[in-house]
Amino acid sequence: NKNLMRSRINGIIQDSLYLAKTKTAKQTFILFGSEMSVTGIGIVSAILNTRILGPKGYGILAFFGTITGFTILFFRFGLFSSIGLLLAQEKDKKKERELIGISILIGLLVGVSYSLFIFISSFFVDGIFKTNINHILRVFSPILLLLPFQMLIPQIGRGTNKIKHLAWFNTIPKSLYVIGVISILLLGLTQIKVSTLILLNLITVIAGVIIISYAFKPLFFNLKKNLKKIWQKNKEYGIHLYWGQIADQSTYNLDGILISYFVNTTQLGFYSLAGAITKPMAMLSRSVSTSLF
């Protein structure tokens, strides 16, 4: 019995060591490590934000993130998921880069529509939520043009199996943000307000989008042909997934909207802090599923 138990344990150890050396396992650890790093950096940035802004200011900052994070979900239209699937199925590297090229142009078109939506919505938000954020949304609506890329780039990373690019995309904006906030504090460059931190956050996101988009080496050839391919795949696959995602993720993210509406943005700030602390619980399973796509 003892020998049988030892052989089973040795077998489990050998299988575990083999699995740990596989490409999927390595990619999972890379992505999970980056997400854990981002969580740690996120906690540091949350501490800085709350110390600088106080509960009321941090609540407004959290509400900006909530309103943009919730509404952007409706602007995928299934296109990004279709792009990810086409990239995963494409074996020709040149055609893959061409698909990335057209996907970037699609992302920009979606971004224009989202930017316009935020600008129009800014005239109604304060009346609905009894807050004071309309001017912030209006001023920053043009920069929100690149916000859809936060959903597009993960799909490109998964589809091309370039998990390192995805890991860097997770890390770059958060790291630059913390460095930027600390630099402003140490150098005393400007008085830090909510709008200052929002601008800095958007700039770091834009930097991450540009760097990683360039790293994918897109080609802007055969645009019409690839657009038709994406549109066809979207009709077959993406749009159906989109409706499911809307039902799933919009209700999941609705909590922040409801807290802002029924309570206030200050309490939303405290709720957001709690969410940041519990975020690592879902990271490992998400990293595994992304690596296996």
- pTM for this structure? 0.78
Mean pLDDT of the chain: 82
Query: Does residue 21 lie within any of the structural domains?
Result: no
Q: How many CB atoms lie within 10 A of CB 189?
A: 11
The structural domain count of the chain equals 1
Hunting for tokens 């993210």 — which residue is that? Answer: 253
Q: Is the pLDDT of residue 15 over 60?
A: no
User: Which pLDDT belongs to residue 224?
Assistant: 93
171 in a structural domain: yes
- What lies within 8 Å, CB to CB, of 268 at 6+ separation is 59, 62, 63, 66, 256, 259, 260
pLDDT digits 0-9 by tens, 257-285: 777 767 666 667 666 666 666 655 555 55
Of 58-72, 207-221, 240-254, where does the model show the most confidence? 207-221
% helix, strand, coil for the chain, step of 5: 90, 0, 10
Q: Within a domain: residue 270?
A: yes
pLDDT by residue (tens digit) across 76-118?
Answer: 888 999 999 999 998 889 999 999 999 999 999 999 999 999 9
Which residue has 């296109």 as its token pair?
79
- Is 131 among the domain residues? yes
Spatial separation of the C-alpha atoms in residues 177 and 187, rounded to whole Å: 15
Nearest CA-CA partner of 156 in 221, 228, 209: 209
Tell me, yes or no, whether 6 lies in a domain: no
Q: Which domain holds residue 125?
A: 29-292
* CB 287, CB 39: distance < 8 Å: no
Q: Are 140 and 72 in contact (CB under 8 A)?
A: no
Q: How far apart are the first and last CA of the chain?
A: 41
Percent of the chain exceeding pLDDT 70 equals 74
Of 135, 147, 150, 144, the residue nearest 116 (C-alpha):
144
Residue 19 belongs to some domain of the structure: no
Per-residue pLDDT tens digits for 162-220:
888 888 888 889 899 999 999 888 887 667 888 999 999 999 999 999 999 999 999 99
- Is pLDDT above 90 for 131? no
Between the alpha carbon of residue 251 and those of residues 74, 147, 182, 240, the distances in Å are 12, 20, 35, 17
